[in-house]
Chain A
Amino acid sequence: MALPRSVFSPAFRYQHLSWFFVALVGIMVYVATFATAAEATLSAITLTWDTGVESRLTIEIPAVEDEANMPQIERVRQTLAILKAQPDIALVMPLPDDEAARLLKPWISQPELLKAIALPTLIDVERKTGSSLTAATLQDKLKNVAEDIHVDDHAAWLADMNHLVNGLALMAGLMILLTAVTLIIAVSLICRAIMATEHDTIALLHIIGADDDAIAKTFQYHARRLAGRASMVGFILALISVGILLFFLRRFADPALLQPMHWAGLAASVLVVPLAAIAMAALSARLSALKLLRSMP
């Protein structure tokens, strides 16, 4: 039970309808591929953050202005003593001064300026697993050494960051969903337009005994063929764009994002986009054709 596929070929070419079709699907695939790449990357970022750093606190002891009163070295020594006495702390790791300088380097380009700045001393501590020690209580305990000591909780900061990243990922997901819905609507509109112009041919096919499904399948065939081309073009352009973007972002990239595992996952998830677009275009063409055909005698 098959209709020659050429029956509706001129109708798809009429008024450049197939061009509109290809352009629409191509744009949708481009946008969705981009959004999927963003989504996959964002999820990977949270994944790398989730491992290891959440039990860590960082204590920042600002450099003293007046070394005569209580020298910085003395403040650090007292702080370390208090930290080591805490039963909840498993590990205390003072960061060497050049480490602090290294962390600041990307933000301050002139090396002389960097030397001139009085750098704070940083101490990382690792909480014992299951410990309920918070940044606030620890800061309280260190108050005696100096009022301006600040304790940073990575977990809290991580949670904020996670919310942001999850929000962005959700938006990317929403964008993918919207593109999919737009694609389905656009394809079914184009099919309806073609069916309206081909009303007489369809009536004839019905009279000579074509069943609705055979006619709908021809629409599916054309939609799949056109969506196939469109997806390929949209996908390749999106990959090139993502590539260019990553090239410019590579200096800021989290090293975890450069691992092959991430790339394999990214490739797998973006590859789904053009395939899904083709499947959705074909299916929505067939179903919208079927729906319209059922309303005919």
Chain B
Amino acid sequence: MLVQFEKVSLNYGENHPVLTDINFALPKGGFYFLTGPSGAGKSSLLRLMCCAEKPNTGRVFLFGHDTSHVARKDLPDIRRQIGVVFQDFRLIPHLTAMENAALPLRLVGTDEDYITRHTRELLEWVGLGKRLDALPAELSGGEQQRVAIARAVVNKPKMLLADEPTGNVDDETAIKLFHLFDELHKMGTAVILATHQQNLVERFNKPALRLKNGHLTSLAAKAA
């Protein structure tokens, strides 16, 4: 199993349930949408999936590990198998595109030659071959997002989480991005893509987890 949620609930504060009784399991290597209106809890669910948050009740399993029982020192190892593309990109402003994208490789002490070669290839692949040394502020929103995607996949994670990656781009760019994620999926990475844009979900024939008011209303993924 890639991800498994068992009776998971999450609240912010006492009376603010964000996710309630979430149960699902996703097998390895798939491509899934996570849909639902704005405020439904998609981002919160993704945060649980990358151990940025702990559930108030229930259990979250990642690659078979119960995350609430993982020792703190083993957490980085699990997190390194997950790539995350944030809605707001979260690039480090004073590092260049290359340095930002290479960050996950540096963490594991990969050999410097490999880091340079591989990161450059990856940035060329997302179409930023000419902007390697640009700072985030010198890049357009779409370019920053591609740096963020490159950073998310640079260490070949088992699972890629993307939060509203098409939220701020036109439809044409959105479709290009979907194809990019699809290619990554074909190379063996499981992809979970959160979006509120139903029209885009319908264009691609992929299983979807649907959230509404913090409840999972569709378990389409289970059938997939």
Contact = CB atoms under 8 A, between A and B. Distances in A.
A178 to B, nearest CB: 35
Contacts, number: 61
Interface in B68-119: 72-73, 75-77, 79-80, 84, 90, 92, 94-95, 99, 103-104, 106-109
Given A1-B109, A294-B72, A209 B104 contact: yes
B95 A4 contact: yes
Given A4-B95, A6-B94, A201-B92, A212 B72 contact: yes
A9 interface: yes
Contact residue range for chain B?
20 to 34
Most buried by B among A1, A204, A207: A207
A83 to B, nearest CB: 80
Interface stretch (B45-53, B198-206, B216-224): B45-53
A294 B94 CA distance: 26
A208 B79 contact: yes
A208 B103 contact: yes
Given A4-B99, A212-B72, A297-B51, A207 B84 contact: yes
Interface in B93-147: 94-95, 99, 103-104, 106-109
Given A2-B106, A4-B99, A207 B73 contact: no
B79 A7 contact: no
Nearest to B99: A4
B54 interface: yes
A7 B92 contact: yes
A101 B107 CA distance: 79
B80 A4 contact: no
A266 interface: no
B76 A209 contact: yes
B129 to A, nearest CB: 22
Contact of A207 (B77, B79, B94, B108): B79
Interface string B40-66: 000000000011111000000000000
Chain A interface secondary structure, helix, strand, loop or mixed? helix
Nearest to B94: A10
Given A200-B90, A297-B53, A210 B95 contact: no
A214 interface: yes
Given A206-B79, A209-B79, A297-B53, A3 B107 contact: yes
Contacts of A7: 92, 95
B94 A4 contact: no
Contacts of A50: none
Contacts of B53: 297
Interface string A183-225: 0000000000000000011011111111110100000000000
A9 B108 contact: no
A208 B95 contact: no
A9 B52 CA distance: 25
B196 interface: no
A208 B84 contact: yes
A209 B78 CA distance: 8
B151 interface: yes
Nearest to B155: A209
A117 to B, nearest CB: 79
B175 to A, nearest CB: 27
A214 B79 CA distance: 15
A3 B75 CA distance: 17
Interface of A: 1-4, 6-7, 9-10, 200-201, 203-212, 214, 294, 297
5 contacts: A3-B106, A4-B103, A206-B52, A208-B84, A208-B103
Interface of B: 50-54, 72-73, 75-77, 79-80, 84, 90, 92, 94-95, 99, 103-104, 106-109, 151
Given A3-B106, A209-B77, A209-B80, 17 more contacts: A1-B109, A3-B107, A4-B95, A4-B106, A6-B94, A7-B95, A9-B94, A205-B103, A205-B107, A207-B51, A207-B52, A208-B84, A208-B103, A209-B107, A209-B108, A211-B76, A297-B54
Closest 8 CB pairs of A and B: A209-B80, A209-B79, A211-B76, A209-B76, A208-B104, A1-B109, A204-B90, A10-B94
